[in-house]
């Protein structure tokens, strides 16, 4: 079943981890997928892999913290496919550091990517979707950190809390245009973003012990929810966060 057949989807931060898993799943569901990240070579490689598997993918590098690069990403996508139906704002970073030691430069960097990038990518997506008049799907990557406080992640959790309320507000503003805006709240996921933390003695075991499902999540665990939120099946779902966390937020 190709639930996204003929749809054009931008997935930011899709050269690795969760973004790559979502992009590959979208391609398998029939979408035209834009592979985007800061590294041209990685964008090319992921797109080539999708095409080799029979999918449609175009690499368009983008630093989501730079407004002119966001505009270029959308302009190129429209030149290639003529419209944009789904946007997954997945690009993001985490800085694991005590709140009292975080520098202004680090705050500017994480807020620039996680908040600024999500805001202005969503804004451009909404502008194009309103113009197209066919509705659309905007999916923001959030985290259990929008709900659960975690030491060493204040700077990260602040951005995810911002994404939570941003998603709600955008959903209300865009409902009249039949544009759905939702978020995916990732739990403890075994990806590059947290590899250094999980490599510390006992960290992997400690994190696993907290999760009712008994294991850390994999990038692919989020792909099914992203397909649902990008498809017509989610037309009556907007302004919410769906947590993919093995039950962690239920504790």
* Residue (of 86, 153, 95, 97) closest to 126 by Cα position: 86
The single residue of 7, 137, 160, 164 carrying the catalytic annotation is 160
The single residue of 121, 137, 142, 156 carrying the catalytic annotation is 156
CA–CA separation, 161 and 78 (whole Å): 31
160 given a catalytic annotation: yes
CB 5 within 8 A of CB 54: no
The single residue of 143, 145, 164, 231 carrying the catalytic annotation is 143
Q: Is 152 helix (H, G, I), strand (E, B) or coil?
A: coil
DSSP letter for 115, please: I
CA–CA separation, 74 and 225 (whole Å): 24
Residue 109, classified by CB atoms within 10 Å of its CB into exposed (0-12), middle (13-18) or buried (19+), is: middle
Residue that has been written with the tokens 């449609």 in this structure: 56
Q: Residue 186 pairs with which residues in a beta bridge?
A: 143, 244
Q: Residue 86 pairs with which residues in a beta bridge?
A: 9, 137
CB 32 within 8 A of CB 58: yes
Sheet holding 56-59, edge to edge: 56-59, 32-35, 8-11, 86-89, 136-143, 179-186, 241-244
How many other C-beta atoms can be found within 10 angstroms of the C-beta atom of residue 197?
15
What residues are labeled active site? Answer: 143, 156, 160
């Amino acid at each position: 079943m190709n639930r996204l057949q003929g749809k054009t989807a931008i997935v930011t931060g899709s050269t690795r981890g969760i973004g790559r898993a979502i992009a590959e799943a979208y391609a398998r569901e029939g979408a035209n997928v834009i592979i985007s990240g800061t590294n041209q070579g990685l964008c090319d490689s992921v797109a080539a892999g999708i095409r080799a598997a029979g999918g449609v993918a175009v690499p368009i590098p983008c630093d989501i913290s730079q407004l002119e690069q966001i505009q270029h990403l959308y302009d190129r996508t429209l030149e290639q496919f003529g419209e944009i139906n789904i946007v997954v704002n997945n690009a993001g970073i985490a800085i694991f550091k005590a709140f009292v030691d975080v520098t202004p430069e680090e705050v500017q960097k994480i807020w620039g990517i996680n908040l600024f990038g999500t805001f202005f990518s969503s804004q451009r997506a909404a502008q194009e979707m309103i113009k197209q008049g066919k509705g659309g799907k905007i999916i923001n990557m959030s985290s259990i950190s929008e709900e659960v406080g975690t030491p060493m992640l204040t700077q990260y959790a602040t951005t995810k809390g911002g994404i939570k309320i941003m998603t709600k507000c955008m959903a209300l503003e865009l409902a009249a245009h039949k544009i759905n805006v939702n978020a995916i709240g990732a739990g403890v996921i075994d990806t590059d973003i947290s590899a250094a933390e999980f490599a510390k003695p006992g960290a992997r075991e400690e994190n696993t012990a907290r999760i009712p499902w008994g294991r850390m999540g994999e990038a692919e665990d989020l792909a099914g929810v992203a397909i649902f939120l990008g498809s017509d099946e989610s037309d009556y779902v907007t302004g919410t966060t769906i947590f993919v966390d093995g039950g962690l937020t239920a504790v």
